[in-house]
Amino acid sequence: MLDIKFICENPNLIKKACENKRVNIDIDKLLKLDKERKNFIQKVDDLKKIKNEIAEKIKIDFSKKDELIKEGKNIKEKISKLEKELEETEKEFNKLMYLIPNPPLLDVKIGQGEKDNEILKHVGEIPKFNFKPQNYIELAEKLDLIDTKRAAKISGSRFGYLKNEAALLEFALIQFVSQNLIKENFIPIIPPVMIKRHSMEGMGYLTRGEEEIYYLPKDELYLVGTSEQSIGPMHCDEIFKEEELPKRYLGFSSCFRREAGSYGKDTKGILRVHQFDKLEMFSFCKPKDSEKEHDFFLSIEEKLVQLLKIPYRVIKMCTGDLGDSAAKKFDLEAWLPGQNEFREITSTSNCTDFQARRLNIRYRNKNGKLNFVYTLNGTAFAIGRIIIAILENYQQADGSIKIPKILQPYMGEKKFIIHNS
RNA sequence: GGAGAGAUGGCUGAGUGGUCGAAAGCGGCACACUGCUAAUGUGUUGUUCUAGUUUUUUGCUAGGACCCAGGGUUCGAAUCCCUGUCUCUCCGCCA
């Protein structure tokens, strides 16, 4: 959500921002509704003043009691009538307010979508194989690491069992990431994966794309698509002290996505599944630190992938490819030799005060003034996808897979994943 | 699942129809005092909306709202009634 005062003062800027994000919304209608809304508030407040005065008079002067009660009843009726109109206007106003996306930061390239995203850099040598590299699905099948066939029997399409070393790799990755991030003041956290509507809304996920989210109607709970949705609302209606910021969390959770809009895309394997585990970074910080914090998140994502020695590139998303909440976003794409292409493995967004406004998360600065915090999120590891990248990049000529050196301490005796006959 | 108790400012906690935006204490802030640390004294201390005002901000003035949330009763609600949410205690069930 944005500040209505800011919208009133800069309507053209907002119109442009919506256009750049490819969101169609009638800002003039919003401004008109705002005027109406304020007008009603003024009228209601004036009547309430009279109401209060009458109540005061009755207390003091008993002689005119009957007359005053009559007057009070009259005012009460007028108020309730006006309040109804105010409520209607406000409802419509709020609906529009929630539809306005977070304007992109100024350094974000204006563009339509994927094709306009900027590739910022390539890091790591693309490995040369003296044999034809296999894709992870073939590898995983031969080594008995991923079972999507049985998963289909149990749960349907887009599910998978991680088995054997794949399961151990997940445990190793969790250890590896948490050991690294605790050093950077991240508070490790395992959040609830079922959340209430208010939380989902506050994080900006229900405005569009409700189709993508699992919902349990009997309990009125949503399944998180990322632990961000569960971590952000933790501090809803709270006030941070300035010195508490940045407040960083490292969340680990299963994530659930309906993948409603991706029929036919990546249908095999576990690249795109309804359920996967993810380590997620989240930060509440001061507005002026947010760019720094965002770069910091990106640097962590890079460092983790670098430590695994997986080649990747950094993508800066254009305006058209940003979600509602993000003002700026970077993706990391890992090189997958078996598929001969880069695929997204992490994503980090600066959501400025967009989520904080909806959730009412503020901090008190040294002068005692209250401000909204900025929120940032970033994938540390989407575990399934990292496993895919490891399998493909670390495959050997004999069909075995070497365990990345940095993970070996967390894998027991295992140095290789070897065919399981 | 059954029975009961509760939700008040940054915190503890008083308040059962008008004198309450709310006692008291703690904490915070300011000032004073005292070699230092510390102690003491005095004062001050919530949020938010609307309008006006200031060149803008800080602010100021007037008014509205806020004592878990939403409804209701009443001229008037923190206080009474209803619904919901959450927390706690006891019993039952259970990973």
Residue A364: pLDDT band with limits 50, 70, 90: confident
Residue A45: pLDDT band with limits 50, 70, 90: very high
CB A328 within 8 A of CB A104: yes
C1' nearest to CA of A65: which nucleotide?
Answer: B75
Q: Using CA atoms, how far apart are residues A293 and A139, in angstroms rounded to an integer?
A: 38
Rounded, the Å distance between the CA of A54 and C1' of B61 is 23
What residue ranges of chain A are covered by domains with CATH 3.30.930.10? Answer: 114-417
Q: Which residues does residue A362 pair with via DSSP β-bridges, in sequence order?
A: A239, A372
Q: Using CA atoms, how far apart are residues A322 and A328, in angstroms rounded to an integer?
A: 7
Of chain A residues 370-409, which have a beta carbon within 7 Å of strand B? 370
Whole-prediction pTM value?
A: 0.93
A69 CB inside 7 Å of strand B? yes
Q: What is the pLDDT of residues A3-38, one digit of tens each?
A: 999 999 999 999 999 999 999 999 999 999 999 999
CB A220 within 8 A of CB A159: no
Q: Using CA atoms, how far apart are residues A419 and A421, in angstroms rounded to an integer?
A: 6
**Statement: residue A419 has pLDDT above 80:** no
Rounded, the Å distance between the CA of A3 and C1' of B59 is 21
A229: its two tokens? 């949705």
Q: What is the pLDDT of residues A277-306, one digit of tens each?
A: 999 999 999 999 999 999 999 999 999 999
Rounded, the Å distance between the CA of A404 and C1' of B82 is 63
Backbone angles phi, psi at A337, to 5 degrees: -60, -30
CB A33 within 8 A of CB A56: no
Catalytically annotated residues of A: 257, 272, 344, 347, 385
A287 CB inside 7 Å of strand B? no
Q: What is the pLDDT of residues A141-164, one digit of tens each?
A: 999 999 999 999 999 999 999 999
Q: Using CA atoms, how far apart are residues A6 and A13, in angstroms rounded to an integer?
A: 10
Considering chain A, what percentage of its residues have pLDDT values greater than 70?
A: 99
CA quadruple A137, A347, A245, A203: dihedral positive or negative?
A: negative
Q: Using CA atoms, how far apart are residues A215 and A400, in angstroms rounded to an integer?
A: 41
C1' nearest to CA of A238: which nucleotide?
Answer: B10
In this prediction, residues A382-389 reach a mean pLDDT of 97
Q: What is the pLDDT of residues A198-219, one digit of tens each?
A: 888 888 888 877 888 998 888 8
Distances (CA, A) of A276 to A159, A161, A303, A304: 9, 10, 22, 19
Distances (CA, A) of A211 to A208, A276, A354: 8, 18, 22
Query: What is the complex's ipTM, to 2 decimals?
Result: 0.87
Of chain A residues 198-257, which have a beta carbon within 7 Å of strand B? 239
C1' nearest to CA of A4: which nucleotide?
Answer: B49
Q: Which CATH architecture has domain A4-99?
A: Orthogonal Bundle (1.10)
What residue ranges of chain A are covered by domains with CATH 1.10.287.40? Answer: 4-99
In this prediction, residues A320-335 reach a mean pLDDT of 96
Q: Using CA atoms, how far apart are residues A388 and A228, in angstroms rounded to an integer?
A: 23
A301: its two tokens? 């994502």
A33 CB inside 7 Å of strand B? no
A45 CB inside 7 Å of strand B? yes
**Statement: residue A128 has pLDDT above 60:** yes
**Statement: residue A233 has pLDDT above 80:** yes
C1' nearest to CA of A69: which nucleotide?
Answer: B75
CB A139 within 8 A of CB A145: yes
Rounded, the Å distance between the CA of A94 and C1' of B50 is 17
Nearest of A346, A296, A352, A343 to residue A324 by alpha carbon: A352
Least confident of A168-172, A173-177, A363-367: A363-367
* C-alpha gyration radius of chain A: 27
More confident residue, A243 or A184: A184
In this prediction, residues A167-184 reach a mean pLDDT of 96
Q: Using CA atoms, how far apart are residues A388 and A345, in angstroms rounded to an integer?
A: 10
Backbone angles phi, psi at A370, to 5 degrees: -95, 135
More confident residue, A314 or A68: A314
A365 CB inside 7 Å of strand B? no
SS3 track for chain A: CCCHHHHHHCHHHHHHHHHHCCCCCCHHHHHHHHHHHHHHHHHHHHHHHHHHHHHHHHHHCCCCHHHHHHHHHHHHHHHHHHHHHHHHHHHHHHHHHHHCCCCCCCCCCCCCCHHHCEEEEEECCCCCCCCCCCCHHHHHHHCCCEEHHHHHHHCCCCCCEECHHHHHHHHHHHHHHHHHHHCCCEEEECCCCEECHHHHHHCCCCCCCHHHCCEECCCCEEECCCCHHHHHHHHCCCEEEHHHCCEEEEEEEEEECCCCCCCCCCCCCCCCCCEEEEEEEEEEECHHHHHHHHHHHHHHHHHHHHHCCCCEEEEECCHHHCCCCCCEEEEEEEEECCCCEEEEEEEEEECCCHHHHHHCCEEECCCCCEEECEEEEEEEEEHHHHHHHHHHHCECCCCCEECCHHHHHHCCCCCEECCCC
Q: What is the mean pLDDT of chain A?
A: 92
Distances (CA, A) of A307 to A13, A269, A284: 42, 25, 26
Can you give the pLDDT at residue A420? 59
**Statement: residue A421 has pLDDT above 70:** no
**Statement: residue A197 has pLDDT above 90:** no
Q: Name the residue with the least CA to C1' distance from nucleotide B51.
A: A42
A54 CB inside 7 Å of strand B? yes
Rounded, the Å distance between the CA of A357 and C1' of B4 is 39
Residue A368: pLDDT band with limits 50, 70, 90: confident
C1' nearest to CA of A76: which nucleotide?
Answer: B75
Q: Which residues does residue A350 pair with via DSSP β-bridges, in sequence order?
A: A328, A376
CB A415 within 8 A of CB A408: yes
A52 CB inside 7 Å of strand B? yes
Least confident of A95-104, A262-271, A355-364: A262-271
A86 CB inside 7 Å of strand B? no
Homologous superfamily assigned to A114-417: Bira Bifunctional Protein; Domain 2 (3.30.930.10)
Nucleotides of B under 7 A from a protein CB: 10, 18, 47-51, 58-59, 63-65, 72, 74-76
A51 CB inside 7 Å of strand B? yes
Rounded, the Å distance between the CA of A9 and C1' of B93 is 60
A372: its two tokens? 């909204």
A78 CB inside 7 Å of strand B? no
